[in-house]
Amino acid sequence: MRFLSYEMSNDTPTYMDNPPVTIEQVSSMESGGIANWFSLTTINHNGTHVEAPWHFVNDGRRLDELDPADFVFASPVIIDVTKGRDDLITREDLEAHSRAIEGSDVLMVRTGFAARFRDHEPETYGKAGPGFSESAGHYLREFPKLRCLMMDIISAGAPAHPEEGVEFHRAALGGTDGNAANAFVLVVEDCRLDADLTAEDLALVVLTPIRMRPSDAGLCGAVGLSRKDLAGLGFRHVQEA
């Protein structure tokens, strides 16, 4: 069983100049309090978070309007698309993995950028990361089964290419392509896609967003479970592919 999301902390990197995460202990048993508890101050786009259509599509569905089934994925796939500072992930990059994407309901794109910069150079991670092009957003909507995109970068929008980032979000979240194969693709940013994460770890992926009302996005836990994990939890009906 693998966490695909990061824990929140005062060191959580932020996109560009977004307000930071602040976690403060309000009550401490060590100091005489009857319990330990904390306050959390953050915007809903810090750390691992899932974006619903309403984030960029004014008449799109809000996060709090989605069903529980929208956050459970039984056909995950992970692909490696190595990218560096300010690079764009294009339609052509994804087309090289078309056969894998075609059968998936959640696509995880691992660029390797988080492994290189998230902990060691958070400023670089937040202000110079790669992102997706508009063409990639349109391409993802061509797959009828695909419902979600997860990535190891802080945002689908590369800071160096703001217009491409806006248009990618609009395309992926359903603001364009009225005749596309699917209505929208959820976008999950700042995911933990470790280098040793493989297809064998990913029989099932579950997202657990914090749902505000209204909300365009939510802080999100994410877990990947293997077939062995599922069997150990009592899901004996799970069969090997």
Please identify every residue annotated as catalytic.
55
Two tokens at 64?
Answer: 């709090």
Asked whether the bond before 19 is cis by omega within 30 degrees of 0, the reply is no
In sign, the C-alpha dihedral spanning 136, 142, 145, 147 is positive
Around Cβ 20, how many Cβ atoms within 10 Å? Answer: 14
CB-neighbour burial class of residue 184 (10 A; exposed 0-12, middle 13-18, buried 19+): buried
Can you tell me the distance from the alpha carbon of 219 to that of 223, in angstroms, rounded to the nearest whole number? Answer: 14
- Return phi, psi of residue 84, to 5°: -120, -160
Can you tell me the distance from the alpha carbon of 204 to that of 225, in angstroms, rounded to the nearest whole number? Answer: 5
Helix or strand (DSSP H, E) at 92:
helix 91-95
Q: What is the DSSP string of 171-204?
A: HHTTSS-TTSSSS--EEEES----TT--GGG-SE
From the list 2, 6, 1, 12, the residue with the least C-alpha distance to 192 is: 6
Amino acid 129 reads G
